[in-house]
Structure 1
Amino acid sequence: MKRPSLRTGVRWKISIAIAAVGALVAVALSLVVHNSARVSMLDNSREVQLERLLFAQRMYDSTKEPKLGTKLNDPALPHDLHVKMKQGRRATYVQETASGVPDVWAAVPLSNGTVLSLHSKFADSTTIMKDLDRSLIIGSVSVVFGGCALGVLIGGQLSRRLRKAAAAAGRVAQGNTEVRVGDAVGGVVRDETDELARAVDALTDALNERIEAERRVTADIAHELRTPVTGLLTAAELLPPGRPTELVRDRAQAMRTLVEDVLEVARLDSASERAELQEIALGEFVERRVGVLNPAIKIKVVHESWVNTDPRRLERILGNLLANAAKHGGTPVEVTVEGRVVRVRDHGPGFPEALLREGPSRFRTGATDRAGHGHGLGLTIAAGQARVLGARLTFRNATPEGIEGRDGSGGAIAVLWLPEHAPTTTGSFPILKLPG
């Protein structure tokens, strides 16, 4: 079962991370500052309270009367101060109240056994702490928003570079091997994005070298085989008539066709092919060419359209699609022209899943029921010629795999989408694979 996923950009991930870290730091610092400020103010208030009490004690020693709000043997004296007084020590005490305003006590034992104490509420601390908390909250919010803005700025730059790299890599995947991801990323400051771009460029160069080497080997082998195969075919023509002679000629001709197909694939892979464009009526052209190839095929022109394309390459595509339908599909085979779209459909078992998923591949015919006939070059050549025309060639099945078609509803469908404008470079559009 596929897990649900939430797609977010790098910009917002970095912004959220910086904002979260900023919020945690701001909260931690605010708590530390709040507690430190409160402890410091209470310590100061206790010192001030004790100094006032000592001054009042000196006045009491002279006048024998409590002054400055002091009291003798105050019954409200906290228990902790009673303990200190019994020990003969002067002390201060902060008592928390329900109102939130702390009471500050100071007491000192006298020589006659009485206790002189001073009690007052530290109301200024509440106001000061509220002002301090307000300032801390404003500062914390400012830090969070500032961090978020910084994250958007940094993440936006990184996201922009990654998008450029992805776009350049996509163009490379479409066959434009001259694109360099490192040049597309650019920038003055170098980071991991540049390392990724260099790695992609190195991978592209290595793959291009490997593909080019494979293409050259294939082309060289096919080219070297052409001369002996032609000689073999010529020699077969000189053999006396008979069944063995027919078999030799048939196999020699099949080998010659294979060599020519391999050479054509090599030329298409080299991206050196260019279309020779002409203005043609697509429906009329398809009717005429398909009628020559196989008069039994049903042709339907829904809507005529004039296109600027290469007739020779278009005929090659149609021929390969019809040959594939004849070899691996089932009758009837139908060709439909609608505007710039040409559909070729048979009523056989359909395309194999590997072809629908990955596209046509040389020397691979797919399922076992389609194996044993051909070399997988027909659709590969058709796809390569479509790229030269700047067209799209898609493959799908009329019914999903494993479901038998009813009343002729099954079969394979190949669709050629010709471009509205003439191609300016080889392979203007990639081959698309549609789901079955």
Structure 2
Amino acid sequence: MRRPRPPAWAATLTWKAGVFITVMCCALAALLGALVHVSVTRQTVDTAREKALDHLAEVTRAYEAGEPLPPSAGVDPDGLPSALRAMAVRGERGTVVADDPAGRPAIWAAGPADGRALAVRVDYSLSAGTISGLDKAILGSSVLAIGATLLVGSFAVTRVTRRLHLTAQVARRISAGDLDARVNDPRTKDPSRPEDEVATVSGALDTMASSLQGKLLSEQRFTADVAHELRTPLTGLSAAAELLPPGRPAELVRDRVKAMRALTEDLLEISRLDARTGTVDLDVYELGPLAERVVRASGTATEVRIVRDARVETDRRRLERVLGNLLANAHKHGRPPVVVAVDGPVLTVRDHGTGYPEYLLEHGPQRFRTESGGKGHGLGLTIAAGQASAIGAELRFGNAPDGGAEARLTLPEYRDAPEPPAPTAAR
């Protein structure tokens, strides 16, 4: 039997701090209240006992002198506790707090009198009421103190958790690609102000983001500069290769030049995706025919299955680039049959090879990394993921249960606006 899962808010720092403050306040209030109650009760009872014993001494003298006893005294009176009666019969004196015959709180004092118990009764109602009122005051003040402490503590904890949430939001923005995001905690900007632990974490995150941004920008500039510098010599090399006499050496040169030009174009496209300089030209297209056109243009033996067609709002050029790269990767690193399925706004490319490697499933495609026999540069899937993100689509990589790699692209579906109701004729 599975244990019920606690709600998400129960794991927050504010909730835990509130529970801790409440428990500690309740424990402290209970301890102080118990100490005050015991101390006051003991003092009150001791005073009442002394008063009862003094009254018993007066009654004993009156009894020995043969004088009439007051109404609150008597020999073996009704309601006298049996333990106190036994003590007096044994020749001892004592007191006990017990109710009188009318049910009111009283202090009983008894002593020996001719083999019987001579007892007096002192009203204890006022003292009992005082103790009861004190207990209510302790309880009320404890509740008030707990509430006030909880409010102040929650306010203080909320200020800290708000800053932690801000730091977490900035970290998520950085991980999503917003390298300009910073926490900018004022405590890290002013050296005269002492830093707490949250400010230290915020400052470390800002420093890390600045360092990461500098390195990534340097890599992006390097990639773009290398790609741009290679285009000119590659153009000349391509022209020179066309002038070579026919033969196997010329074919090898032309093939390598073509591969280098494709690699250079991929590097340029990655640099543009990193810099986010390209524009997105959105329009509405039928996904099924668009997928069929890309498959025909690829010239590969790919099966197209249209389960349910849909209209999507996307950039056709970028979508064709995504689908083309997925098809090229499936035919290059997988095994046939390769199937492209369209089910509404979801487009799936499936092969029947060994599937995607574990690193790709966990961390996504990585440039210049491949585990398919050392062929390829890992740029095709990297470009596909970048272009999918640019058009607002979600690209997920997985392996089918019965074997093979499966790339699932979910596009924004276009839905026609509902037509306004026709106006009714006036009567």
TM over 0.5: yes
1:60-106 per-residue CA deviation (whole Å, 9 max, x = no partner) reads 99x8969778999x997769996xxxxxxxxx965566999654579
1:367-410 per-residue CA deviation (whole Å, 9 max, x = no partner) reads xxx232111110001111112212211111111xxxxx3xxxx3
* 2:37 counterpart (34, 38, 53): 34
Corresponding residue number in structure 1 for 2:398: 396
Corresponding residue number in structure 2 for 1:111: none
Distance (whole Å) between structure 1 residues aligned to residue 291 and residue 357 of structure 2: 27
Corresponding residue number in structure 1 for 2:318: 313
Once the two structures are TM-superposed, the CA of residue 49 in structure 1 deviates from its matched residue by 4.8
Corresponding residue number in structure 1 for 2:206: 201
* Residue 323 (structure 1) aligned with residue 332 (structure 2): no
Say which SS state the counterpart of residue 307 (structure 1) adopts.
Answer: strand
Once the two structures are TM-superposed, the CA of residue 283 in structure 1 deviates from its matched residue by 2.3
Once the two structures are TM-superposed, the CA of residue 268 in structure 1 deviates from its matched residue by 1.1
Once the two structures are TM-superposed, the CA of residue 192 in structure 1 deviates from its matched residue by 4.9
Say which SS state the counterpart of residue 250 (structure 1) adopts.
Answer: helix
Query: Residue type matched to 1:282 in 2?
Result: L
* 2:26 counterpart (23, 29, 43): 23
Once the two structures are TM-superposed, the CA of residue 321 in structure 1 deviates from its matched residue by 0.7
Describe the shift of the 1:104–1:16 C-alpha distance in structure 2 as closer, same or farther (beyond 3 A): farther
Q: Is the 8 A contact 1:15 1:150 kept in 2?
A: no
Say which SS state the counterpart of residue 280 (structure 1) adopts.
Answer: strand
Say which SS state the counterpart of residue 386 (structure 2) adopts.
Answer: helix
Describe the shift of the 1:75–1:122 C-alpha distance in structure 2 as closer, same or farther (beyond 3 A): same
Q: Is the 8 A contact 1:287 1:299 kept in 2?
A: yes
Q: What TM-score do the two structures reach when normalised by structure 2?
A: 0.74
Q: How does 1:21-420 map to 2 (within 5 A)?
A: 21-49=24-52, 94-95=95-96, 102-104=107-109, 119-121=120-122, 123-124=124-125, 125-156=127-158, 158-182=160-184, 192-294=197-299, 296-366=301-371, 370-399=372-401, 405=402, 410-420=403-413
Distance (whole Å) between structure 2 residues aligned to residue 81 and residue 217 of structure 1: 108
Q: Is the 8 A contact 2:52 2:95 kept in 1?
A: no
Once the two structures are TM-superposed, the CA of residue 315 in structure 1 deviates from its matched residue by 1.8
Query: Residue type matched to 2:386 in 1?
Result: G
1:242-275 per-residue CA deviation (whole Å, 9 max, x = no partner) reads 3233323322322232222222212211222222
Once the two structures are TM-superposed, the CA of residue 194 in structure 1 deviates from its matched residue by 4.8
Once the two structures are TM-superposed, the CA of residue 57 in structure 1 deviates from its matched residue by 9.6
Describe the shift of the 1:93–1:319 C-alpha distance in structure 2 as closer, same or farther (beyond 3 A): same
Query: Residue type matched to 2:298 in 1?
Result: L
Say which SS state the counterpart of residue 370 (structure 2) adopts.
Answer: coil
Deviates more, 1:139-148 or 1:217-226: 139-148
Describe the shift of the 1:148–1:416 C-alpha distance in structure 2 as closer, same or farther (beyond 3 A): same
Describe the shift of the 1:210–1:93 C-alpha distance in structure 2 as closer, same or farther (beyond 3 A): farther
Q: Is the 8 A contact 2:48 2:124 kept in 1?
A: no
Distance (whole Å) between structure 1 residues aligned to residue 221 and residue 106 of structure 2: 91
Distance (whole Å) between structure 2 residues aligned to residue 364 and residue 197 of structure 1: 33
Describe the shift of the 1:75–1:318 C-alpha distance in structure 2 as closer, same or farther (beyond 3 A): closer
Q: Is the 8 A contact 2:173 2:181 kept in 1?
A: yes
Q: Is the 8 A contact 2:14 2:161 kept in 1?
A: yes
1:20-70 per-residue CA deviation (whole Å, 9 max, x = no partner) reads 011111111111111111122133335545665787899999x89697789
Q: What TM-score do the two structures reach when normalised by structure 1?
A: 0.73
Q: Is the 8 A contact 2:53 2:95 kept in 1?
A: no
Q: Is the 8 A contact 1:16 1:151 kept in 2?
A: no
Q: Is the 8 A contact 1:273 1:388 kept in 2?
A: no
1:280-329 per-residue CA deviation (whole Å, 9 max, x = no partner) reads 33322222222121253222333444434322222211211110001111
Q: Is the 8 A contact 1:20 1:144 kept in 2?
A: no
Say which SS state the counterpart of residue 347 (structure 1) adopts.
Answer: coil
Deviates more, 1:20-29 or 1:276-285: 276-285
Larger RCO: 1 or 2 (CA < 8 Å, sep 6+): 1
Distance (whole Å) between structure 2 residues aligned to residue 80 and residue 201 of structure 1: 86
1:322-381 per-residue CA deviation (whole Å, 9 max, x = no partner) reads 100011111111112233332211121211121111111111124xxx232111110001
Distance (whole Å) between structure 1 residues aligned to residue 85 and residue 173 of structure 2: 90
Once the two structures are TM-superposed, the CA of residue 230 in structure 1 deviates from its matched residue by 3.7
What RMSD over aligned residues (CA atoms) do the two structures have, in Å? 4.0
Q: Is the 8 A contact 1:281 1:307 kept in 2?
A: yes
Distance (whole Å) between structure 2 residues aligned to residue 164 and residue 420 of structure 1: 33
Distance (whole Å) between structure 2 residues aligned to residue 315 and residue 363 of structure 1: 23
Distance (whole Å) between structure 1 residues aligned to residue 310 and residue 293 of structure 2: 15
Identity of aligned residues (%): 42
User: 5+ residue gaps in structure 1?
Assistant: 83-91, 108-116, 400-404, 423-436
Say which SS state the counterpart of residue 290 (structure 2) adopts.
Answer: helix
Once the two structures are TM-superposed, the CA of residue 126 in structure 1 deviates from its matched residue by 3.7
Distance (whole Å) between structure 2 residues aligned to residue 274 and residue 194 of structure 1: 38
Say which SS state the counterpart of residue 395 (structure 2) adopts.
Answer: strand
Distance (whole Å) between structure 2 residues aligned to residue 75 and residue 305 of structure 1: 99
Query: Residue type matched to 1:177 in 2?
Result: L
Distance (whole Å) between structure 2 residues aligned to residue 81 and residue 32 of structure 1: 36
Distance (whole Å) between structure 2 residues aligned to residue 150 and residue 365 of structure 1: 56
Alignment length (residue pairs): 384
Say which SS state the counterpart of residue 342 (structure 2) adopts.
Answer: strand
Q: Is the 8 A contact 1:46 1:106 kept in 2?
A: no
